[in-house]
Amino acid sequence: MTTMELREDLRPFRRRTVVLFVFVFAAFGLLHLRLADLQVVDGVEWRNLAENNRLRRLPLPGPRGWIYDRRGQVLAENIPTWEVLLFPNEADEVEATGVFLARIGVSDISIFHQRLAERRIGRMAPLVVGENLSWEQVAAVRSHQSDYPELAVVSRFRRHYPYGELTAHVVGHLRPVSKSEVDADPRLEPDAMIGATGIEAAENAFIAGSSGERWVMASAVGRQLGVVSESEATPGHDLGLTLDIELQRVAAEAFGDQAGAVVALDPRSGAVRVLHSAPSFHPGVFGGRLSRSDWEGLLENPAHPLQNRCLQGMYPPGSTIKPFLALAGLEEGLIDPGETVFCNGSVVLHRHRFRCWRRGGHGFVNLERALTESCDVYFYLLGQRLGIEEMASWLYRFGFGERTGLDPAFEAKGLIGTPEWSRQVRGTPWYPGEAVSVSIGQGPVLATVVQLARAYAMLANGGRPVRPYLVSPPRASRPDPVVDPDHLALVAAALEGVVHGPRGTARSLGAIPMAGKTGTAQVVRLQEGVDSKDLAPQLRHHAWFAAWAPLDRPELVVAVIVEHGGDGGSTAGPIAGKVVEAFLRQRIQPGVETPPPPPNQPTSDASG
């Protein structure tokens, strides 16, 4: 084949090669143009989308331990819930985000702004802006995720208190952690909830879990692309209390709408069975990051529902103090049980007439009758013999004037006035007549309900000091009695007569096998001839009653105060009686289980 012929044969292939080359060149040209368009024209948009794929840190709160009563009834638990987190650094229009959340009912716009304003941390950390979401609200947030990529829905736990107001002052409630607490402890999450009052606060270190964290990659529209790393949260420890929820309920129902407190404990050990303060509050309102206006409303409530009257309320003990001064007189050898004093209704001491509560007087009374019928004149004269220093010394031995240790952070000390106290605190001299008032539990002497319960536990257990407790018993110890058993037996017999004697001040409760003492704490000084029942309710006396049962081997001590209740035997006494009766029924039927909260009992919820 000649060269000419070979060229003729290759000519078609050359044309095809040229066409192919032109096609490839054109394709590369188009690709180059598209790349240029992406880089130059759409480059900013695509670069923003790529850069907006970001890492998010999601805190994983450690669930708090559950709290139980002595029979295993749940007092505080955790329930799964949904929350909305806001990543402030990712929000272009925070105002629009707040409006959206308000529109779907997740967060009130004012609360949303309040949380933003009170943010204690940098903009990188998420902020809880909605709790306890319904399924509809979860769906609404997720369906608008592309519009509000700065939001994230997460599953968490909320704190739930099945008995609501009934245990609010015992179990307590939660509060948001403060900035200073976060700064001091890096293990705390900025949006954590910690114990504020009650057992939730006192045992927070034991109940609280340890947080974990999850690092996720999120897309530009807020969609989670994957988990980068994760460390699990550690749950807190469960806690059992000595509280008896059945007796607690009986005390609350007996109180009704009155204000005051009930404390019941085992005199043998100090284990607290009842700790009821009225009025109360719903602990769950604090879990949703309480608004400032709601918080101020609670603080300004004239009924003071936040005050734990068992521990923080200080009242003149009235005649409930008389058994301890009787023991002081016996121990000091200043009185003889058979010695009589004539009460004609009053006595003049230090140029002042001090009146007995019974206007016509009691006639001749010995120690037993003075306690059983609560004769003031007898104790005025006893106080004169003892003097304020001796009275104070003996009252301290029974635990007055010092905290019981049940809740040191929130417990009041009470007061025992002395000349030194008067100089240091009041800046005035001590007046002799003040000691006379102290001898019947009036004047500069104040006690808490838990102090009185502890003191009466000593009367019931043979005179041994006890420390009230709700969580764990103190170190095993059996302190020596502070009084002679024979003297204690005399006083105990008189207090049995208060309930079962024909002239006892609590004889209306005679069907209940208990011993006790009534007391009246004056709120205002009455003018002669004025009956306290004729006063306005807020000016009426406080009513006390303290008792123990059963009579032979006491297992329960109850102390009750009814604010402005008037007569202790008719108002505070019946409340204590119902608690004692319920306790005695339990002894007969120890296996009876406590029923769940009634359907009409409101429950309370709190995040944590």
Delineate the domains of the chain, giving CATH numbers in brackets: 54-240 (3.90.1310.10), 245-588 (3.40.710.10)
Contact 239, 471 (CB under 8 A): yes
Q: Is 82 left (phi over 0), alpha (psi -120 to 50) or beta?
A: beta
Neighbours of 140 (CB within 10 A): 18
Question: pLDDT under 50 in the chain at which residues?
Answer: 6, 38, 43, 46, 49-50, 592-608
Q: What is the spatial distance between Cα 273 and Cα 334, in angstroms, rounded to a whole number?
A: 37
What pLDDT is attached to residue 474? 62
* In contact, 57 and 117? CB cutoff 8 Å: no
C-alpha closest to that of 61 among 177, 169, 191? 191
Across 133-289, where does the E strand assignment appear? 151-161, 174-176, 193-195, 212-218, 224-231, 239-240, 260-265, 272-278
What pLDDT is attached to residue 405?
Answer: 93
* Secondary structure tally for the chain: helices H, strands E: 19, 22
Whole-number Å distance between alpha carbons of 36 and 281: 68
Taking a C-beta distance cutoff of 8 angstroms, is the pair 390, 439 a contact?
Answer: no
d(CA 459, CA 495): 10
Q: What is the rounded CA–CA span in Å between residue 223 and residue 216?
A: 10
Of the candidates 107, 280, 319, 374, the residue annotated as catalytic is 319
pLDDT score recorded for residue 38: 46
**For residues 268 and 477, is the Cβ–Cβ distance under 8 A?**
no
Residue 187: count other Cβ atoms within 10 Å of its Cβ: 10
Alpha-carbon dihedral 454, 456, 461, 463, rounded to 10 degrees:
90
Dump the DSSP string for 417-472: --HHHIIIII-SPPPHHHHHHHTTT-SSEEB-HHHHHHHHHHHHTTS-----BSSS
ω into 279 cis (within 30 of 0): yes
By residue count, the chain amounts to 608
Please tell me the predicted confidence (pLDDT) of residue 241.
97
Over residues 77-120, the pLDDT tens digits come to 999 989 888 887 777 778 888 888 888 888 877 777 777 776 65
First to last CA, the chain: 96
* Angle at the Cα of 33 from the Cα atoms of 30 and 39, rounded to 5 degrees: 140
**Distance (Å) of CA 72 to CA 238, 242, 590:** 11, 10, 14
Helix (H/G/I), strand (E/B), else coil: 490: helix
Dist CA 338 CA 289 (whole Å): 64
The H or E element spanning position 331 is helix 322-331
Q: Could you give the CA distance from residue 355 to residue 172 in angstroms, rounded to a whole number?
A: 43
CA dihedral 447, 453, 456, 461 (to 10 degrees): -140
Instruction: Please give the Cα distance from 349 to 537 (Å, whole number).
Output: 31
The confidence score (pLDDT) of residue 23 equals 57
Cα separation, 518 vs 508, whole angstroms: 12
DSSP 535: S
Nearest to 415 by CA among 448, 391, 389, 393: 448
Active site residue 319: yes
Contact yes or no for 400/447 (Cβ under 8 A): yes
